[in-house]
Amino acid sequence: ARTKGKDERGVGYVKKNAIAGRRFESWMAFEAHLDRWVRDVADQREHGTTGVAPAERFAAEAGALRPLAGRAPFGQLRDLVRKVQADCAIDLDTNSYSVPWRLIGESVQVVVLAGRVIIRHAGQVVADHALCQGRRQRIVDRFHFVGVTGAEGSVRTAPLEMPPAALLRPLAEYEAVVGGGW
């Protein structure tokens, strides 16, 4: 709200100086007039903040500009939160990307950057997929299903540990503590 006036003044400047009292035969004629006006009027005036004409300022700074070499002119990053579905995947733009099965039901951070879909849980990268350009596709990393019955690999990676029998108590001991009985 504090800078709205600055933004709107530029619109008013163009309205009052470039197009006030003029009519144009076509949209092309209007655009041609604006191109001439920017080049011959707006870029030649002394700028109120810098005190230098925009054309002069650009000429002085042009040497410092570098080509982008095929890169996007700005960082194209998407940072999202998704819930891992029962099918071990998150949904993104009609596609689904696999996540390790142990994260079913958990919320994960999804970052889309430079053609990659990077999925993090508790700050750790748990999945990294190429961004799918198609629609309604399922992108799967088979390692995300290791340990699931029916997937390649063992059902359990380690044997199930049972506590020693000496630590197990019969229910009667609990009944005695709470004062109840069956």
Task: Write out the DSSP string of 11-45.
Answer: HHHHIIIIITT---SSHHHHHHHHHHHIIIIITTS
Domain boundaries, the chain: 4-64, 77-145
What is the Cα–Cα distance from 100 to 129, expressed in whole angstroms? Answer: 13
CB–CB of 92/118 below 8 Å? no
Which residues fall within 8 angstroms of residue 116, CB to CB, at 6 or more apart? 128, 129, 130, 131
Please name which of 73, 72, 99 lies closest in space to residue 86, comparing C-alpha atoms: 99
The pTM of this model reads 0.47
Looking at the chain, the whole-number percentage of residues with pLDDT higher than 70 is 84
**What is the average pLDDT across 70-90?**
85
pLDDT band at 46 (very low <50, low <70, confident <90, very high): very high
**What is the average pLDDT across 75-89?**
89
Q: What is the pLDDT of residue 66?
A: 83
pLDDT band at 155 (very low <50, low <70, confident <90, very high): very low
Q: Dump pLDDT digits (tens) for 92-113.
A: 999 999 999 999 999 999 999 8
